[in-house]
Protein backbone atom coordinates (compact mmCIF):
# COMPACT_ATOMS: atom_id res chain seq x y z
CA UNK A 1 0.00 0.00 0.00
CA UNK A 2 1.19 3.51 -0.85
CA UNK A 3 0.46 6.57 1.27
CA UNK A 4 -1.08 9.65 -0.31
CA UNK A 5 -1.21 13.05 1.41
CA UNK A 6 -3.72 15.64 0.21
CA UNK A 7 -4.52 19.20 1.28
CA UNK A 8 -8.25 19.91 1.23
CA UNK A 9 -9.43 23.47 0.71
CA UNK A 10 -12.80 23.77 2.46
CA UNK A 11 -14.64 27.14 2.36
CA UNK A 12 -16.82 27.83 5.38
CA UNK A 13 -20.55 27.55 4.68
CA UNK A 14 -22.56 30.70 5.51
CA UNK A 15 -19.92 32.11 7.87
CA UNK A 16 -21.46 35.07 9.67
CA UNK A 17 -19.83 38.49 9.87
CA UNK A 18 -19.12 38.18 13.61
CA UNK A 19 -17.06 34.97 13.24
CA UNK A 20 -15.28 36.28 10.14
CA UNK A 21 -14.23 39.48 11.96
CA UNK A 22 -13.07 37.38 14.94
CA UNK A 23 -10.92 35.24 12.65
CA UNK A 24 -9.40 38.43 11.25
CA UNK A 25 -8.72 39.88 14.71
CA UNK A 26 -7.10 36.71 16.06
CA UNK A 27 -4.98 36.36 12.92
CA UNK A 28 -3.65 39.89 13.50
CA UNK A 29 -2.76 38.98 17.09
CA UNK A 30 -1.11 35.75 15.91
CA UNK A 31 0.96 37.70 13.37
CA UNK A 32 2.14 40.04 16.11
CA UNK A 33 3.19 37.03 18.21
CA UNK A 34 5.21 35.69 15.27
CA UNK A 35 6.95 39.04 14.74
CA UNK A 36 7.73 39.30 18.47
CA UNK A 37 9.35 35.86 18.27
CA UNK A 38 11.65 37.05 15.48
CA UNK A 39 13.14 39.53 17.90
CA UNK A 40 14.15 36.69 20.25
CA UNK A 41 17.51 34.97 19.81
CA UNK A 42 17.22 31.68 17.90
CA UNK A 43 18.64 29.59 20.76
CA UNK A 44 16.17 31.09 23.23
CA UNK A 45 13.33 30.79 20.74
CA UNK A 46 13.74 27.00 20.72
CA UNK A 47 13.00 26.87 24.44
CA UNK A 48 9.83 28.95 24.30
CA UNK A 49 6.37 27.41 24.74
CA UNK A 50 2.84 28.76 24.95
CA UNK A 51 3.45 29.41 28.68
CA UNK A 52 5.44 32.48 27.65
CA UNK A 53 2.28 33.89 26.02
CA UNK A 54 -0.26 33.42 28.81
CA UNK A 55 -1.46 36.98 28.25
CA UNK A 56 -2.53 36.07 24.69
CA UNK A 57 -6.14 34.88 24.39
CA UNK A 58 -5.37 32.43 21.58
CA UNK A 59 -5.34 28.75 22.64
CA UNK A 60 -2.03 27.15 23.64
CA UNK A 61 -2.05 24.57 20.80
CA UNK A 62 -2.37 27.37 18.23
CA UNK A 63 0.42 29.38 19.88
CA UNK A 64 2.74 26.35 20.02
CA UNK A 65 2.22 25.79 16.30
CA UNK A 66 2.94 29.47 15.63
CA UNK A 67 6.23 29.13 17.54
CA UNK A 68 7.18 26.09 15.43
CA UNK A 69 6.23 27.82 12.16
CA UNK A 70 8.18 30.95 13.08
CA UNK A 71 11.27 28.96 14.01
CA UNK A 72 11.10 27.09 10.69
CA UNK A 73 11.25 30.36 8.70
CA UNK A 74 14.95 31.03 9.19
CA UNK A 75 15.34 33.84 6.63
CA UNK A 76 12.17 35.86 7.31
CA UNK A 77 12.69 39.30 8.86
CA UNK A 78 9.04 40.31 9.18
CA UNK A 79 5.73 38.46 8.76
CA UNK A 80 3.02 40.24 6.84
CA UNK A 81 0.50 37.55 7.81
CA UNK A 82 0.85 34.46 9.99
CA UNK A 83 -2.27 32.32 9.61
CA UNK A 84 -3.66 30.44 12.57
CA UNK A 85 -2.67 26.76 12.47
CA UNK A 86 -3.14 23.78 14.77
CA UNK A 87 -2.21 20.08 14.70
CA UNK A 88 -4.71 17.22 14.46
CA UNK A 89 -5.30 17.20 18.24
CA UNK A 90 -6.86 20.65 18.12
CA UNK A 91 -9.84 19.96 15.85
CA UNK A 92 -12.12 17.24 14.53
CA UNK A 93 -14.18 16.63 11.40
CA UNK A 94 -17.79 15.47 11.78
CA UNK A 95 -20.87 15.12 9.62
CA UNK A 96 -24.16 16.82 10.39
CA UNK A 97 -26.93 15.90 7.97
CA UNK A 98 -25.72 16.57 4.44
CA UNK A 99 -22.99 18.95 5.58
CA UNK A 100 -19.53 18.32 7.00
CA UNK A 101 -18.42 20.31 10.04
CA UNK A 102 -15.02 21.27 11.43
CA UNK A 103 -15.00 21.96 15.17
CA UNK A 104 -12.23 23.63 17.17
CA UNK A 105 -11.64 26.08 20.00
CA UNK A 106 -9.56 29.16 19.32
CA UNK A 107 -9.48 30.61 22.82
CA UNK A 108 -7.29 29.81 25.80
CA UNK A 109 -9.08 28.19 28.73
CA UNK A 110 -12.23 27.25 26.77
CA UNK A 111 -12.85 23.52 26.32
CA UNK A 112 -16.01 23.80 24.23
CA UNK A 113 -15.40 23.56 20.49
CA UNK A 114 -17.33 25.62 17.97
CA UNK A 115 -18.60 23.57 14.98
CA UNK A 116 -18.47 25.33 11.60
CA UNK A 117 -20.03 23.98 8.41
CA UNK A 118 -17.76 23.63 5.38
CA UNK A 119 -18.37 23.09 1.68
CA UNK A 120 -17.24 19.55 0.84
CA UNK A 121 -17.26 20.23 -2.93
CA UNK A 122 -15.29 17.40 -4.61
CA UNK A 123 -13.80 16.22 -1.30
CA UNK A 124 -16.85 14.29 -0.07
CA UNK A 125 -15.19 10.92 -0.61
CA UNK A 126 -12.03 11.89 1.31
CA UNK A 127 -13.96 13.45 4.21
CA UNK A 128 -16.10 10.32 4.48
CA UNK A 129 -12.90 8.27 4.80
CA UNK A 130 -11.75 10.59 7.60
CA UNK A 131 -14.97 10.02 9.54
CA UNK A 132 -14.81 6.25 8.94
CA UNK A 133 -11.19 6.16 10.13
CA UNK A 134 -9.77 5.14 6.75
CA UNK A 135 -7.81 8.42 6.51
CA UNK A 136 -5.89 10.34 9.17
CA UNK A 137 -5.93 14.09 9.73
CA UNK A 138 -2.90 16.36 9.71
CA UNK A 139 -2.78 20.06 10.51
CA UNK A 140 -5.53 22.65 10.00
CA UNK A 141 -4.88 26.21 8.86
CA UNK A 142 -7.38 29.08 8.75
CA UNK A 143 -6.87 31.28 5.68
CA UNK A 144 -8.69 34.02 3.82
CA UNK A 145 -8.75 34.49 0.06
CA UNK A 146 -8.24 37.84 -1.62
CA UNK A 147 -12.00 37.95 -2.18
CA UNK A 148 -12.55 37.78 1.57
CA UNK A 149 -13.69 34.14 1.75
CA UNK A 150 -12.49 32.23 4.83
CA UNK A 151 -11.63 28.57 4.42
CA UNK A 152 -9.90 25.72 6.24
CA UNK A 153 -6.84 24.02 4.77
CA UNK A 154 -6.81 20.46 6.11
CA UNK A 155 -4.03 17.94 5.51
CA UNK A 156 -5.23 14.35 5.08
CA UNK A 157 -3.15 11.17 4.71
CA UNK A 158 -4.57 7.88 3.51
CA UNK A 159 -3.46 4.53 2.12
CA UNK A 160 -4.12 3.88 -1.55
CA UNK A 161 -3.77 0.57 -3.42
CA UNK A 162 -0.48 -0.10 -5.15
CA UNK A 163 -0.44 0.43 -8.89
CA UNK A 164 -2.01 -2.41 -10.83
CA UNK A 165 -0.20 -4.38 -13.53
CA UNK A 166 0.08 -2.43 -16.75
CA UNK A 167 0.31 -3.32 -20.43
CA UNK A 168 3.01 -0.74 -21.19
CA UNK A 169 3.99 2.90 -20.85
CA UNK A 170 2.58 6.09 -22.31
CA UNK A 171 5.29 8.68 -22.93
CA UNK A 172 4.41 12.27 -22.09
CA UNK A 173 6.36 14.99 -23.88
CA UNK A 174 5.97 18.53 -22.53
CA UNK A 175 6.65 21.72 -24.40
CA UNK A 176 5.40 25.17 -25.32
CA UNK A 177 3.84 24.64 -28.73
CA UNK A 178 2.12 21.57 -27.31
CA UNK A 179 1.74 21.69 -23.52
CA UNK A 180 1.68 17.89 -23.47
CA UNK A 181 1.66 15.04 -25.99
CA UNK A 182 0.80 11.55 -24.73
CA UNK A 183 1.25 8.66 -27.17
CA UNK A 184 0.46 4.98 -26.93
CA UNK A 185 3.36 2.68 -27.93
CA UNK A 186 3.68 2.74 -31.73
CA UNK A 187 0.16 4.13 -31.98
CA UNK A 188 -1.81 7.36 -31.93
CA UNK A 189 -1.19 10.24 -29.55
CA UNK A 190 -3.26 12.84 -27.81
CA UNK A 191 -2.23 16.50 -28.12
CA UNK A 192 -2.87 19.37 -25.72
CA UNK A 193 -2.20 22.50 -27.78
CA UNK A 194 -0.36 25.47 -26.30
CA UNK A 195 -1.91 28.09 -28.56
CA UNK A 196 -4.44 29.23 -25.92
CA UNK A 197 -1.73 29.50 -23.24
CA UNK A 198 0.55 31.52 -25.51
CA UNK A 199 -2.26 33.93 -26.35
CA UNK A 200 -3.07 34.36 -22.66
CA UNK A 201 0.59 34.96 -21.79
CA UNK A 202 0.91 37.68 -24.44
CA UNK A 203 -2.39 39.25 -23.43
CA UNK A 204 -1.41 39.47 -19.75
CA UNK A 205 2.04 40.78 -20.70
CA UNK A 206 0.47 43.60 -22.71
CA UNK A 207 -1.91 44.47 -19.85
CA UNK A 208 0.93 44.47 -17.30
CA UNK A 209 2.98 46.79 -19.47
CA UNK A 210 0.16 49.33 -19.75
CA UNK A 211 -0.53 49.15 -16.00
CA UNK A 212 3.15 49.58 -15.13
CA UNK A 213 3.34 52.67 -17.34
CA UNK A 214 0.32 54.03 -15.48
CA UNK A 215 2.06 53.25 -12.12
CA UNK A 216 -0.82 50.98 -11.04
CA UNK A 217 1.40 48.46 -9.27
CA UNK A 218 -1.38 46.97 -7.13
CA UNK A 219 -3.31 46.10 -10.28
CA UNK A 220 -0.16 44.50 -11.72
CA UNK A 221 0.05 42.12 -8.74
CA UNK A 222 -3.63 41.26 -9.04
CA UNK A 223 -3.15 40.53 -12.73
CA UNK A 224 -0.17 38.27 -12.03
CA UNK A 225 -2.19 36.35 -9.45
CA UNK A 226 -5.05 35.92 -11.91
CA UNK A 227 -2.70 34.67 -14.63
CA UNK A 228 -1.17 32.15 -12.23
CA UNK A 229 -4.60 30.83 -11.22
CA UNK A 230 -5.64 30.36 -14.84
CA UNK A 231 -2.47 28.45 -15.69
CA UNK A 232 -2.87 26.29 -12.58
CA UNK A 233 -6.40 25.42 -13.62
CA UNK A 234 -5.22 24.49 -17.13
CA UNK A 235 -2.57 22.18 -15.65
CA UNK A 236 -5.16 20.60 -13.37
CA UNK A 237 -7.41 19.85 -16.34
CA UNK A 238 -4.58 18.40 -18.45
CA UNK A 239 -3.26 16.25 -15.58
CA UNK A 240 -6.74 14.87 -14.93
CA UNK A 241 -7.13 13.95 -18.60
CA UNK A 242 -3.65 12.40 -18.73
CA UNK A 243 -4.42 10.09 -15.81
CA UNK A 244 -7.77 9.13 -17.31
CA UNK A 245 -6.12 8.46 -20.68
CA UNK A 246 -3.62 6.08 -19.06
CA UNK A 247 -6.33 4.42 -16.96
CA UNK A 248 -8.57 3.78 -19.99
CA UNK A 249 -5.82 1.84 -21.76
CA UNK A 250 -4.33 0.14 -18.67
CA UNK A 251 -0.97 1.90 -19.11
CA UNK A 252 1.54 3.76 -16.94
CA UNK A 253 2.83 7.29 -17.51
CA UNK A 254 6.45 8.19 -18.23
CA UNK A 255 7.78 11.75 -18.04
CA UNK A 256 11.17 13.01 -19.12
CA UNK A 257 13.28 14.33 -16.26
CA UNK A 258 13.55 18.06 -16.95
CA UNK A 259 15.54 19.02 -13.85
CA UNK A 260 17.68 22.09 -14.55
CA UNK A 261 16.08 22.71 -17.96
CA UNK A 262 16.25 26.48 -17.49
CA UNK A 263 20.03 26.44 -17.11
CA UNK A 264 20.79 23.72 -19.64
CA UNK A 265 18.48 25.09 -22.35
CA UNK A 266 19.35 28.76 -22.69
CA UNK A 267 17.34 31.34 -24.60
CA UNK A 268 18.16 34.64 -26.26
CA UNK A 269 17.10 37.87 -24.57
CA UNK A 270 14.83 38.68 -27.50
CA UNK A 271 13.04 35.36 -27.11
CA UNK A 272 12.69 35.83 -23.36
CA UNK A 273 11.10 39.23 -23.90
CA UNK A 274 8.09 37.44 -25.40
CA UNK A 275 6.04 35.99 -22.50
CA UNK A 276 4.65 33.29 -24.79
CA UNK A 277 8.13 31.96 -25.64
CA UNK A 278 9.90 32.57 -22.33
CA UNK A 279 10.76 29.17 -20.86
CA UNK A 280 11.19 30.63 -17.37
CA UNK A 281 7.40 30.85 -16.94
CA UNK A 282 6.77 27.41 -18.41
CA UNK A 283 4.92 25.45 -15.68
CA UNK A 284 6.14 21.99 -16.72
CA UNK A 285 7.01 20.89 -13.17
CA UNK A 286 3.59 21.84 -11.83
CA UNK A 287 1.94 19.71 -14.52
CA UNK A 288 4.06 16.71 -13.51
CA UNK A 289 3.30 17.19 -9.80
CA UNK A 290 -0.44 17.43 -10.43
CA UNK A 291 -0.33 14.32 -12.61
CA UNK A 292 1.69 12.32 -10.08
CA UNK A 293 -0.64 12.72 -7.12
CA UNK A 294 -3.73 12.13 -9.26
CA UNK A 295 -2.08 9.02 -10.74
CA UNK A 296 -1.22 7.62 -7.29
CA UNK A 297 -4.83 8.07 -6.26
CA UNK A 298 -6.04 6.30 -9.41
CA UNK A 299 -3.52 3.45 -9.15
CA UNK A 300 -1.58 4.50 -12.27
CA UNK A 301 2.24 4.12 -12.01
CA UNK A 302 4.40 7.11 -12.96
CA UNK A 303 8.10 7.06 -13.88
CA UNK A 304 10.74 9.56 -14.97
CA UNK A 305 13.34 8.84 -17.67
CA UNK A 306 16.44 10.81 -18.74
CA UNK A 307 15.66 13.62 -21.15
CA UNK A 308 18.75 13.69 -23.47
CA UNK A 309 18.07 12.79 -27.12
CA UNK A 310 14.36 12.05 -26.58
CA UNK A 311 13.39 14.73 -29.09
CA UNK A 312 16.32 14.17 -31.50
CA UNK A 313 16.25 10.37 -31.81
CA UNK A 314 14.18 8.34 -34.25
CA UNK A 315 11.64 6.30 -32.27
CA UNK A 316 12.02 3.37 -34.73
CA UNK A 317 15.73 2.73 -34.17
CA UNK A 318 17.26 5.34 -31.87
CA UNK A 319 19.34 7.00 -34.58
CA UNK A 320 19.84 10.75 -34.33
CA UNK A 321 17.74 12.65 -36.85
CA UNK A 322 16.85 16.28 -37.53
CA UNK A 323 14.13 18.26 -35.81
CA UNK A 324 12.76 21.37 -37.48
CA UNK A 325 10.02 22.97 -35.35
CA UNK A 326 7.05 20.56 -35.45
CA UNK A 327 8.64 18.05 -37.82
CA UNK A 328 11.15 15.29 -37.19
CA UNK A 329 13.11 13.80 -40.12
CA UNK A 330 15.03 10.54 -39.85
CA UNK A 331 18.29 9.85 -41.71
CA UNK A 332 16.33 7.79 -44.29
CA UNK A 333 13.79 10.55 -44.98
CA UNK A 334 11.12 9.29 -42.58
CA UNK A 335 8.97 12.14 -41.27
CA UNK A 336 6.59 12.50 -38.35
CA UNK A 337 5.42 15.00 -35.75
CA UNK A 338 8.40 15.91 -33.56
CA UNK A 339 6.48 15.91 -30.26
CA UNK A 340 4.78 12.60 -31.05
CA UNK A 341 8.19 11.12 -31.87
CA UNK A 342 9.57 12.38 -28.53
CA UNK A 343 6.65 10.90 -26.60
CA UNK A 344 7.28 7.55 -28.33
CA UNK A 345 10.91 7.65 -27.22
CA UNK A 346 9.97 8.54 -23.65
CA UNK A 347 7.43 5.75 -23.46
CA UNK A 348 9.47 2.98 -25.10
CA UNK A 349 13.18 3.55 -24.62
CA UNK A 350 15.63 3.84 -21.77
CA UNK A 351 19.39 4.35 -21.97
CA UNK A 352 20.03 5.82 -25.40
CA UNK A 353 23.41 5.00 -27.00
CA UNK A 354 23.59 6.42 -30.52
CA UNK A 355 26.58 6.00 -32.83
CA UNK A 356 27.94 8.92 -34.80
CA UNK A 357 27.87 6.78 -37.95
CA UNK A 358 24.13 6.61 -38.46
CA UNK A 359 23.82 4.06 -41.30
CA UNK A 360 26.31 1.69 -39.62
CA UNK A 361 24.43 1.98 -36.33
CA UNK A 362 21.18 0.87 -38.00
CA UNK A 363 22.77 -2.04 -39.83
CA UNK A 364 24.47 -3.19 -36.63
CA UNK A 365 21.23 -2.98 -34.67
CA UNK A 366 19.41 -5.06 -37.27
CA UNK A 367 21.90 -7.90 -36.83
CA UNK A 368 21.48 -8.10 -33.06
CA UNK A 369 18.85 -10.20 -31.32
CA UNK A 370 16.19 -7.78 -30.01
CA UNK A 371 15.95 -9.71 -26.74
CA UNK A 372 19.32 -8.26 -25.67
CA UNK A 373 17.93 -4.70 -25.62
CA UNK A 374 15.48 -2.92 -23.34
CA UNK A 375 12.16 -2.31 -25.09
CA UNK A 376 13.89 -2.60 -28.48
CA UNK A 377 16.29 0.24 -27.56
CA UNK A 378 19.90 0.56 -28.74
CA UNK A 379 22.21 -1.54 -26.59
CA UNK A 380 24.42 -0.17 -23.85
CA UNK A 381 27.34 -1.48 -21.83
CA UNK A 382 28.94 -4.81 -22.85
CA UNK A 383 26.26 -5.52 -25.43
CA UNK A 384 27.01 -2.25 -27.26
CA UNK A 385 30.69 -3.18 -27.38
CA UNK A 386 29.80 -6.45 -29.11
CA UNK A 387 27.73 -4.52 -31.64
CA UNK A 388 30.52 -2.06 -32.38
CA UNK A 389 32.88 -4.94 -33.19
CA UNK A 390 30.61 -6.23 -35.98
CA UNK A 391 31.72 -5.57 -39.58
CA UNK A 392 30.13 -2.65 -41.37
- Terminal CA-to-CA distance of the chain, rounded, Å? 51
Beta-bridge partners for 313: 320
Positions of the chain with pLDDT under 50 = 353-392
Task: Please state the φ and ψ torsions of residue 181, each to the nearest 5 degrees.
Answer: -130, 120
pLDDT at 187: 87
pLDDT value of residue 316:
85
Phi-psi region of 241 (alpha: psi -120 to 50; beta: other; left: phi over 0): alpha
Question: 157-211, pLDDT tens digit by residue?
Answer: 988 877 778 888 999 999 888 999 999 988 888 999 989 999 999 999 999 999 9
pLDDT at 368: 39
Q: Under a CB-based contact definition with an 8 Å cutoff, are residues 355 and 379 in contact?
A: no
Question: In terms of C-beta density within 10 A (0-12 exposed, 13-18 middle, 19 or more buried), how is residue 176 classed?
Answer: middle
Check residue 386 and give its pLDDT.
Answer: 40
What number of CA atoms fall less than 13 Å from residue 109's CA on the CB side?
Answer: 5
- Cα separation of 295 and 243, whole Å? 6
Backbone angle region of 299, left / alpha / beta, with phi > 0 → left and psi within -120 to 50 → alpha: left
pLDDT of residue 350: 59
The Cα–Cα gap between 28 and 7 comes to 24
CA pair distance 368, 376, nearest whole angstrom:
10
Record the pTM: 0.72
Condensed to tens digits (0 to 9), the pLDDT of residues 61-85 reads 999 999 999 988 888 899 999 999 9
pLDDT value, residue 251? 92
The length of the chain is: 392
Q: What is the pLDDT at residue 254? A: 92
Strands laid side by side in the 189-193 sheet: 189-193, 178-183, 169-174, 252-257, 302-306
| pLDDT of 143 | 95
pLDDT value of residue 351: 54
Quote the CA–CA distance of 194 and 179 in Å, as a whole number: 5
- pLDDT at site 75: 87
Sequence-separated (6 or more) residues with CB below 8 Å from residue 371: none
Give the integer Cα–Cα distance in Å for 1 and 320.
41
For the chain, helix (H) and strand (E) counts, in that order, are: 12, 15
Closest to 297 measured CA to CA, from 122, 120, 98: 122
Amino acid sequence: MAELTLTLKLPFHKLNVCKASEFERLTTINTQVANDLLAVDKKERKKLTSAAFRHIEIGSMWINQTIRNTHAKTKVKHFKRMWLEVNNQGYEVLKSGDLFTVSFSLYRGRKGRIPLDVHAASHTEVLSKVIDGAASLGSLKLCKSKKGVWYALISVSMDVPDAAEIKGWIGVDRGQNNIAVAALPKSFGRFWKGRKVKALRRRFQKLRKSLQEAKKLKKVKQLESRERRIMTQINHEISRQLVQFAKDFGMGLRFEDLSGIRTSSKQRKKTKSDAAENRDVWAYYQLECFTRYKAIRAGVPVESVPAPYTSKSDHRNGVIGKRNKHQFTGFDGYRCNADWNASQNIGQWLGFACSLSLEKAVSAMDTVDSESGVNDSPLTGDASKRVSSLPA
